């Protein structure tokens, strides 16, 4: 029997409404049975033209727009825009504000990683860890609500400082959370890390090589899982990150499993940073004096911070007026989605889901 | 290398014409002639002293007077940053692709092509992706763009 | 409690009214079918509620709480809602195939109960090929899933249907082989004979004590047969949205849904009959023992579902052919040698 069976490749439209594309992303898949032959991402379903709108708003009005740029870690988005603007001014940021920024952003990083890990479990059919991670995420969101009244789009970090001081009960509540958090991470690890099915589904899947990290500008935990020891908090320092003692987990495998482990370790490190920041938290002002009609110097700047997904950057061009001339927001997911067609070839449709989840692609960041 | 050394190294080792811009940021800032975009990119990407192998950001800019393309490469090996831009011809905005050096530039350039209408020579896949497929309403990020369906605010 | 006295009583009643012969037989059979159907529907409704409760408690939630005591009436409410739903058939669907798929699924799930002994004497018909009959009839479910996948004219549904066919063919083999070990010991394929061969010895004659490997193989293969996580690939929500039943709504969906839970109860009932001594047990009535053991297995399957991630399709096949199948043969070898030696 040498005669070949006549088979056809099947083109399947995954999304825009699909439970595991984390937003509205459409992937045009060419399948050979269960194997993915080709994958073409189609984005733009969430395009809100934030960059264009920013050009018609004053700098202060841009901050709430940045909340929508990437709504899972709004704190980072606020911060990166504020940071870019502050680089074009001579503002002295009060120390307390810097510490509050660090605390909030690290809490936000934990919340985002909890979402990612829970959703990765969900995408691989493990429905229970999702609820566990959301249990702890809720505690963090409560802290945010206590501070700025919002649970998703915080608009907390402003140009020159933060919008308001933390209430008195914040610090004990936050410490309470940090005390239980390490045990809770152990819980997730018990359910997932050593689970043979979890390992079988994630190990060796979607391997990103070091060279690909450089070429495709992969950043954050996804890059560190591929053995690239790079963290903007340490290598391009901003704010007061040089005052904390923390390690940056680096793994060598580059597969989904290592990306997952990098995230878990990062949560523990973030908790350490928050603990130290709470210890060192100085008193004083929370905001520099910023005039109502704020105007930075003319100039251009690219500022970046380490977001939970990777590098988040703002390119800002100012002509000294009250509105920015050009704002470009750069999100890590943009590059992470770009690499998926490269690493998915020959794998199964179920692996696509695992890779998509482990790279933690969030669509608002891509479409802007 | 600190920014000053980096500037000196690049200006002395690159054969083309470079214009250095003084600024108070942490990275050196160059304006590269349009014709030197690809050679310069290749130089900073491949030079063993620089190895700017990671393209953080690439953006089209319309300052109102001129079209520019801004590139922000950095190195994950020795953690250096660079800032350079090319100024395009306003009448015929066009530049060569750098996506064969930095694969990440693929989508950055696609976005510039789509939203600014700069022509990109040699790009592998110029297809609309942020705007609808049947978009025929100009290039929204250019200054002074008014879409067909834009209703202006009433004058105060 | 036995079925045959009820039959006799019903026959007597009919005779008094003046109905005899084939008509009376027919009425008795219909009454019997209605009884089994009613019982199973109740069990399925209970299982749906129970699964929701178990999953909720595993995930530190409450689950349904509003309808009735701790939400016991929730599934009834859901069923009523599903019955009221509009029946949507996709325009390009193959209407006949699309219509018959849930019917076949439902019927084959229920038909298995003809030979399941709910207790001593509580069996509709003790066929001498009982276990073979069950295996044959439950396989019809696969055909229905394939029909649903094909008839829906949806690519996700098609992949789901194909997956279920591949999966069922693979897992049927270790499943049958693991049961074969028991049949070799019991020397009969009748369900009643199998149960009776396990009575005595103070409960230590259950097959699970002699063939633990067989039991484990059966349990794994049965999880795959019932399409439960970690083997729920035909309806993998995250990859295939819902697999074969993506286009189904209303009552047809309810039929698939109920059939899934009935199937789960079936595989647990077989496990009880074949490995856990069926109705055998001291003090309590036999049907309570049967029900208790079966629900314990169901509980186990539910805990599986809420603690494991899903396997990938090639890993699933590899596991069936490279691990379970050799082990099942090993089990048969072991049973053959020991059955001869110990003269069970």
User: Which pLDDT tens digit goes with each residue over A309-342?
Assistant: 888 889 988 888 888 888 888 888 888 888 888 8
Say how far apart CA A303 and CA A313 lie, in whole Å.
6
**DSSP label at residue B123:** -
Chain C residues near residue A29 by CB distance under 8 angstroms: none
C344 touches chain A (CB under 8 A): no
CA distance B4 to C135: 80
Question: Comparing B95-109, C14-28, C33-47, which segment has the lowest mean pLDDT?
Answer: C14-28
Q: Chain B: residue nearest A45 by CA? A: B130
Mean pLDDT of chain A: 86
Closest CA in chain B for residue A90: B24
Q: C310 vs A351: CB contact, 8 Å cut-off? A: no
Mark yes or no for CB contact A201/C311 under 8 Å: yes
CB-based contact C141:C165 (threshold 8 Å): no
Contact C239 A197 (CB under 8 A): no
Q: Is the pLDDT of residue A4 over 80?
A: no
Q: Across the interface, do C309 and A10 touch by the CB < 8 Å criterion? A: no
- Across chain B, what does the average pLDDT equal? 83
How many domains does chain A contain in total? 1
Instruction: Give percent of chain A with pLDDT exceeding 70.
Output: 99
Confidence of residue C2 (pLDDT cuts 50, 70, 90): low
Q: Which of A44, A235, A301 sits opposite B131 (nearest CB)?
A: A44
Segments making up each domain of chain B, as ranges: 3-93
The pLDDT tens digits for C74-108 are 888 888 888 888 888 888 888 888 888 888 888 88
pLDDT at A166: 87
Please state, for a pLDDT cut of 90, what percent of chain C lies above it. Answer: 1
Q: How far apart are CA A322 and CA A86, in angstroms?
A: 14
CB contact under 8 A, A302 and B83: yes
* pLDDT number for residue C194: 82
Chains in contact with chain C (at least 3 beta-carbon pairs closer than 8 A): A
Position A19 in a domain: no
Query: How do residues A132-176 score in pLDDT, each as one tens digit?
Result: 888 889 999 999 998 888 888 888 888 888 888 888 888 898 888
pLDDT digits (tens, 9 = 90+) for B107-116: 888 888 888 8
Q: Is the pLDDT of residue A205 over 80?
A: yes
Tokens of B93: 């905005």
Per the CB < 8 Å rule, is C156 touching A12? yes
pLDDT score of C4: 65
At residue B57, φ and ψ (nearest 5 deg) are -155, 150
Predicted confidence (pLDDT) per residue in A231-276, tens digit: 888 888 888 888 888 888 898 888 889 989 899 999 988 998 998 9
A47/B83 Cβ within 8 A: no
Is A154 an interface residue toward B (CB < 8 Å)? no
- Residue of B74, B100, B116, B150 to mutate when probing chain A, most A C-beta within 10 A: B74
Residue A199 in contact with partner chain C when CB distance is under 8 A = no
The answer, yes or no, to whether B and C have at least 3 beta-carbon pairs within 8 Å is no
CB A57 within 8 A of CB A322: no
Residue B1 in this model has a pLDDT that exceeds 80:
no
Q: Which of C61, C239, C241 sits opposite A131 (nearest CB)?
A: C61
* Chains touching B (3+ CB pairs < 8 Å): A
Q: Which residues of B24-54 are buried (b: 16+ CB within 10 A; e: fewer)?
A: ebbbbbbebeeebbbebbebbbeeeebbbbb
The answer to whether residue A124 neighbours chain C at the CB level (below 8 Å) is yes
pLDDT above 50 for C1: no
Provide, as residue numbers in chain A, all residues whose Cβ is less than 8 Å from the Cβ of B131: 44, 47
CA gap A273, A76 in Å, rounded: 16
Chain C residues touching A200 at Cβ < 8 A: 311-312, 315
Q: Find residues 301-320 of chain C whose CB sits inside 8 Å of chain A.
A: 306-315
- CA A288 to CA A18: how far, in whole Å? 45
Average pLDDT over residues C130-155: 86
Q: Which residue of C has its CA nearest to A350?
A: C239
Give the pLDDT band of residue B82 (cuts 50, 70, 90): confident
Contact B53 A87 (CB under 8 A): no
CB distance B87 to A342 below 8 Å:
no
Report yes or no: B140 at the A interface, CB cutoff 8 Å: yes
Q: Domain limits at A139?
A: 51-366
Is B20 touching A (CB cutoff 8 A)? no
Nearest to C106, CA basis, from C43, C172, C6, C37: C37
What pLDDT is stored for residue C203 in this prediction? 66
User: Which residues of chain A make contact with C310, given a CB cutoff of 8 A?
Assistant: 124-126, 197, 201, 350
- Enumerate residues 230 to 289 of chain A having a beta carbon within 8 A of any beta carbon in chain B: 230, 235-236
H helix or E strand, kind and range, residue B69: strand B67-74
pLDDT (tens digit per residue) in A30-77: 888 788 888 888 888 888 888 888 888 888 888 888 888 888 888 888
Chain B within 8 Å of A56 (Cβ-Cβ)? no
Please give the Cα distance from A58 to B54 (Å, whole number).
32
- Banded pLDDT at C5 (limits 50, 70, 90): low
Token digits of residue B31: 């304006």
Does the beta-carbon distance from A315 to B59 stay under 8 Å?
yes
pLDDT at A44: 84
* Residue corresponding to tokens 């009613």: C38
Q: Mind giving me the DSSP string for C13-36?
A: HHHHHT--HHHHHHHHHHHHHHHH
CATH number corresponding to B3-93: 3.30.460.80
Give the dihedral sign, CA B40/B44/B45/B48.
positive
Label residues A180-201 b or e (16+ Cβ within 10 Å = b). Answer: ebeebbeebeebbeebebbebb
When the pLDDT of each residue in chain C is averaged and rounded to a whole number, the result is 83
Judge whether A23 lies within some domain. no
Which residues, 6 or more positions from A145, have their beta carbon under 8 angstroms from its beta carbon? A151
Q: How far apart are CA C82 and CA C254, in angstroms?
A: 7
**Range in A54-68, A225-239, C196-210, C290-304 with the lowest mean pLDDT:** C196-210
Contact assignment for C59 to A12 by CB distance below 8 Å: no
* Closest chain C CA to residue A131: C59
Helix (H, G, I), strand (E, B) or coil at C198: coil
Q: Looking at residue A158, what is its pLDDT? A: 87
pLDDT for position C343: 62
Residue count of chain C, please give it. Answer: 344
Domain boundaries, chain C: 1-64, 85-342
Phi-psi domain of A338 (left: phi exceeds 0; alpha: psi -120 through 50; beta: other): alpha
Look at the pTM and tell me if it is higher than 0.80: yes
User: What are φ and ψ of residue A260, in 5° steps?
Assistant: -65, -45
For range B117-139, the mean pLDDT:
84
Contacts of A230 in chain B (CB under 8 A): 76, 79
Angstrom CA distances, A235 to A238, A307, B79, C257, stand at 9, 14, 7, 55
Q: How far is A94 from chain B (nearest CA, A)?
A: 21
How much is the pLDDT for C344? 53
* Residue A354: predicted pLDDT: 86
Task: Tell me whether residues A349 and C159 touch, CB distance under 8 A.
Answer: yes
pLDDT(A303) > 50: yes
Are the beta carbons of A124 and C310 separated by less than 8 Å? yes
């Amino acid at each position: 029997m040498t005669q070949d069976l006549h088979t056809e490749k099947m083109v399947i439209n995954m999304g825009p409404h699909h439970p595991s594309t984390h937003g509205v992303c459409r992937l045009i898949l060419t399948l050979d049975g269960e194997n993915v032959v080709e994958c073409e991402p189609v984005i733009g379903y969430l395009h809100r033209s934030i960059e264009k709108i920013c050009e018609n708003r004053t700098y202060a009005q841009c901050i709430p727009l940045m909340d929508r740029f990437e709504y899972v870690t709004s704190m980072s988005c606020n911060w990166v825009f504020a940071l870019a603007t502050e680089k074009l001014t001579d503002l002295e940021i009060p120390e307390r504000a810097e510490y509050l920024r660090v605390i909030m952003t690290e809490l936000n990083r934990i919340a985002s990683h909890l979402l990612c890990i829970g959703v990765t479990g969900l995408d691989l059919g493990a429905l229970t860890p999702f609820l566990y991670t959301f249990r702890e995420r809720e505690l963090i969101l409560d802290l945010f609500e206590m501070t700025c009244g919002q649970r998703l789009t915080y608009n907390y970090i402003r140009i020159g400082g933060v919008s308001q001081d933390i209430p008195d009960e914040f610090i004990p509540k936050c410490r309470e959370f940090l005390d239980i958090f390490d045990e809770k991470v152990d819980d997730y690890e018990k359910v997932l890390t050593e689970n043979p099915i979890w390992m079988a589904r994630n190990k060796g899947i979607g391997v990103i090589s070091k060279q690909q990290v450089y070429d495709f500008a992969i950043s954050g935990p996804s890059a560190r899982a591929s053995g690239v020891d790079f963290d903007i908090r340490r290598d391009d320092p901003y704010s007061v990150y040089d005052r904390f003692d923390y390690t940056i987990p680096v793994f060598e495998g580059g597969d989904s499993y290592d990306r997952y482990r990098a995230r878990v370790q990062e949560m523990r490190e973030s908790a350490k940073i928050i603990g130290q920041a709470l210890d060192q938290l100085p008193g004083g002002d929370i905001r520099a004096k910023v005039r109502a009609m704020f105007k930075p110097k003319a100039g251009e700047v690219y500022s970046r911070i380490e977001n939970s997904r990777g590098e988040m950057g703002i390119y800002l061009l100012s002509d000294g007026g009250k509105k920015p001339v050009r704002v470009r927001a750069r999100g890590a997911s943009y590059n992470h989605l770009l690499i998926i067609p490269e690493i998915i070839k020959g794998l199964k449709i179920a692996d696509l889901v695992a890779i998509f989840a482990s790279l933690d692609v969030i669509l608002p960041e891509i479409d802007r | 290398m600190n920014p000053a050394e980096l500037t000196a190294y690049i200006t002395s080792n690159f054969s083309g014409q470079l214009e250095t811009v003084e600024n108070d940021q942490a990275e050196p800032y160059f304006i590269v002639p349009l014709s030197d975009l690809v050679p310069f990119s290749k130089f900073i990407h491949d030079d063993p002293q620089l190895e700017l192998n990671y393209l953080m950001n690439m953006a089209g800019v319309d300052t109102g007077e001129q079209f520019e393309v801004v590139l922000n490469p950095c190195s994950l090996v020795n953690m250096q940053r660079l800032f350079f831009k090319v100024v395009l011809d306003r009448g015929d905005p066009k530049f060569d692709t750098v996506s064969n050096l930095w694969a990440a530039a693929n989508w950055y350039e696609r976005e510039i092509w789509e939203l600014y209408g700069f022509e990109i020579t040699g790009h592998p896949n110029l297809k609309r992706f942020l705007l609808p497929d049947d978009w025929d309403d100009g290039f929204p990020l250019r200054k002074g763009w008014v879409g067909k369906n834009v209703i202006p605010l009433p004058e105060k | 409690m036995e079925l045959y006295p009820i039959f006799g009583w019903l026959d007597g009643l009919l005779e008094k009214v003046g109905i005899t012969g084939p008509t009376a037989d027919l009425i008795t059979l219909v009454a019997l079918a209605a009884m089994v159907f009613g019982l199973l529907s109740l069990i399925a409704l209970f299982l749906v509620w129970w699964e929701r409760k178990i999953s909720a408690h595993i995930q530190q939630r409450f689950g349904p709480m509003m309808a009735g005591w701790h939400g016991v009436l929730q599934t009834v409410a859901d069923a009523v809602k599903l019955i009221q739903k509009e029946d949507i058939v996709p325009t390009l669907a193959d209407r006949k195939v699309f219509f018959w798929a849930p019917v076949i699924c439902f019927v084959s799930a229920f038909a298995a109960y003809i030979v399941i002994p709910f207790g001593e004497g509580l069996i509709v018909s003790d066929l001498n090929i009982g276990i073979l009959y069950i295996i044959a009839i439950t396989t019809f479910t696969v055909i229905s899933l394939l029909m649903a996948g094909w008839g829906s004219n949806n690519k996700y549904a098609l992949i789901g249907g194909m997956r279920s066919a591949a999966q069922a063919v693979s897992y049927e083999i270790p499943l049958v082989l693991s049961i074969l070990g028991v049949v070799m010991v019991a020397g009969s394929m009748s369900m009643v004979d199998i149960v009776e061969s396990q009575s005595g010895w103070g409960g230590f004659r259950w097959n699970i004590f002699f063939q633990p490997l067989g039991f484990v193989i059966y349990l794994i293969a049965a999880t795959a047969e019932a399409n439960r996580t970690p083997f729920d690939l035909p309806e993998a929500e995250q990859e295939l949205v819902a697999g074969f039943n993506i286009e189904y709504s209303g009552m047809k969906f309810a039929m698939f849904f109920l059939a899934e839970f009935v199937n789960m109860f079936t595989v647990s009932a077989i496990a009880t009959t074949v490995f856990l001594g069926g109705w055998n047990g001291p003090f309590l009535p036999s049907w309570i023992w049967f029900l208790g053991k079966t629900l314990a297995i169901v509980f186990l399957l539910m805990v599986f579902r809420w603690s494991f991630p899903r396997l990938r399709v090639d890993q699933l096949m590899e596991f069936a052919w490279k691990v379970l199948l050799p082990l099942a043969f090993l089990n048969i070898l072991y049973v053959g040698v020991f059955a001869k030696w110990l003269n069970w």
